[in-house]
Structure 1
Amino acid sequence: MQIDVFIPCFIDQFYPDTALNFVNLLKKTGCDVKYNPKQTCCGQPAFNSGYWKEAKTVASKFLADFEMANIVVAPSASCTGFIRNYYHKLFEEEEELLHKSNKIRKRVFEFSDFMVNHLKVTNVGAVFNHKVTFHDSCAGLREYGINEEPRKLLKEVRGLELIEMDELDSCCGFGGTFAAKFHHISTAMTEQKVEHALQTGAEYIVSTEASCLMNMQAYIDKQKLPIKTIHLVDVLIHKRQA
C-alpha cells in the first residue's frame, strides 16, 4: 500500500526522531512510504489564533502538496482532526478548494487509527519494559475520535504495563496559544494532569500528541518529577529495554 506521510511542523521542528520512527514503523508494516519535502504546516496554529486568512494560505499549500496522494497518514490527531473538521469552513466560499478539501478529508488518517482500523495491525513486535499511563489529547478524543486505538497498540507491546490515570479525559493545559495567553490556568491544568499520572506509579506518560507531551515535559523538568513523556510512535519502535 502506498501512503504519503505528513509530518506536522511541531514534530518536524522539535521531535525529528519521532518523525523518522513513524516512517520506519509504516515501512515495517509493508507500506510504500512517500515523503514530500515541500510540505510545511496544516494551518491549524493560525486558524486557532483567529488568523483565518493566513490559515487559508497555509491550508491551500497543504492541499497542493498532497493533491495526488491516495492516503495521507500523520502522527498527530490534532492536525488530522483539523483537516477533517475545519478545512471545509476555511474554503466554504471557494468551490475548487472546497472540492479538494472534501476529497482529502476522506484520505487523511491519524497513525493509530490507520494502523488498527485500516491496516489491521496491532502488534509490531515492540518491547518496552516500563509502566506507562496514556494521555488522551483533547484533539484526539474529541476532534478526531480515537480512544481504544492507541491502547490496543500499547497492550501488544511486550513488557509494557498500561495503568490508566484518574480523569484521563481531562486536558493537559496546552491548547496551543492558550498556554501562552492564560499561563496560570494552563499551568494549574498541567499540574493536575501530571499529578494524576504520578499517582499511577507509571514511569512514562504516552500520547499521540507531541505538543501535549512537550507541555507536560516542561512542567515535569521544572518540578524535577520522577516521570517522563514519550510519543506512542517512539514506544512502538523499541526493541529492547530502554
Structure 2
Amino acid sequence: MSEPKPRVALFVTCLVDLYRPSVGFAAIRLLEQAGCQVEVPRLQTCCGQPAYNSGDRATARDLARPVIDAFLPYDHVVAPSGSCAGMIAKHYPGLFDNDPHYRARAEALAARTHELVSFLVDVRGVERVQARHAGVAAYHDSCSGLRELGIRAQPRRLLAGVEGLTVKELAEPELCCGFGGTFCVKYPEISTRMVSDKVKDIEATGADTLLAGDMGCLLNMAGRLHRQGSPVQVRHVAEVLADMTRDVPPIAGA
C-alpha cells in the first residue's frame, strides 16, 4: 500500500499574485511532479514582511496571525520566494514573544515552511526535472534565500539537468541586487547603484537569461536591464524547471 501524498500548502506571495501568476502555476506543477497534494489556502494574505522590515511589529503580527491559522493544518508550507519563506520560518516566532499561544503555533509553522527549490531537493529528494530551455543563464542568489535559508546549491543542482541549458556564474553572485524590500524606497540612489553593478555583472557573463528565486529581485533587475536596453531575458527559476518558458513570456522590465 502506497504512502499518502504529503499535503502541501502553497504560499503564493504578493508579488507572484500581482505580477507573475505563472510562477505559482509553475510551483504547483513542480510540487505535483514531486508527489505532493497541493492546495492554495484561500485566506492567505501578505506574510507581513514589509511591515516587519519597516519596524511596524504590530501590523506584522496582525498579518501573521491569519497566515498561521490558514497554513498550520498542512504537512508543509512552500513558497516560491526565499524572502517570504524566510519571514515565516525565521521571524514569525519572535513576533509573539509575549503571546505563548501564538508563539507555539508560529514555531510549529516555521518548522514546516520551505522555499520551493529547497523543498524539492532537500525534503522531496528531487534530483532531476523534465525540462528544456536552450540558452545560457546566469543565476542570482537572493539575500534572504542565501543567508537565512542556505539556498545556493539546490537551484544549480536542478538547473544542471535542464536540457539545452548552460549556467554561467556571476563574478559576485551573492551581492544584493539593491531591491531589499523597503530598502529601495528608503535609499533609491544606493539601490540604483547596486542594481547597476549587478546588471554589469550579468551582462559580463554573456548569458541571454537571468534566473533567480525571488520576484522582488527579478522585478528590480528586469527593470534596470530594460532601462539600459539589455536583451537579457528575466525569469523565475521555477518557470524554467517546470518547462513553461515556451508558453510564458519573460518578465517585463518597467
TM-score, normalisation: structure 2: 0.92
Change (3 A) 1:48 1:240: closer
Partners in 1 of 2:237 and 2:188 — Cα distance? Answer: 27
2:205 is aligned with 1:169: no
1:33 maps to which residue? 38
Change (3 A) 1:83 1:202: same
Partners in 1 of 2:218 and 2:172 — Cα distance? Answer: 17
2:90 maps to which residue? 85
Which residue type is aligned with residue 65 of structure 2? S
2:187 is aligned with 1:182: yes
Which residue type is aligned with residue 212 of structure 2? S
Structure 2 counterpart SS, 1:130:
strand
2:237 is aligned with 1:232: yes
Q: Gapped runs of 5+ residues in structure 1?
A: none
Partners in 2 of 1:43 and 1:68 — Cα distance? Answer: 20
Partners in 1 of 2:105 and 2:167 — Cα distance? Answer: 40
Residues 127 and 239, structure 1, Cα contact 8 Å, conserved in 2: no
Residues 72 and 108, structure 2, Cα contact 8 Å, conserved in 1: no
1:66 maps to which residue? 71
1:241 is displaced (CA, Å) by 6.2
Which residue of 127, 130, 134 maps to 1:125?
Answer: 130
1:122 is displaced (CA, Å) by 2.6
Q: C-alpha deviations, 1:128-152, integer Å up to 9, x for none?
A: 0010010001111111111100110
Partners in 2 of 1:142 and 1:149 — Cα distance? Answer: 14
Partners in 2 of 1:228 and 1:138 — Cα distance? Answer: 21
How large is the Cα RMSD of the aligned pairs? 1.3
Partners in 1 of 2:78 and 2:71 — Cα distance? Answer: 11
Structure 1 counterpart SS, 2:111:
coil
Partners in 1 of 2:112 and 2:242 — Cα distance? Answer: 25
Partners in 2 of 1:240 and 1:217 — Cα distance? Answer: 16
2:51 maps to which residue? 46
Which residue of 5, 22, 26 maps to 2:10?
Answer: 5
2:111 maps to which residue? 106
Which residue type is aligned with residue 87 of structure 1? Y
Residues 3 and 72, structure 1, Cα contact 8 Å, conserved in 2: yes
- Runs of 4+ displaced beyond 4 Å: 239-242
1:193 maps to which residue? 198
TM-score, normalisation: structure 1: 0.97
1:147 maps to which residue? 152
2:209 is aligned with 1:204: yes
1:239 is displaced (CA, Å) by 6.4
Which residue type is aligned with residue 161 of structure 1? T
1:44 is displaced (CA, Å) by 0.6
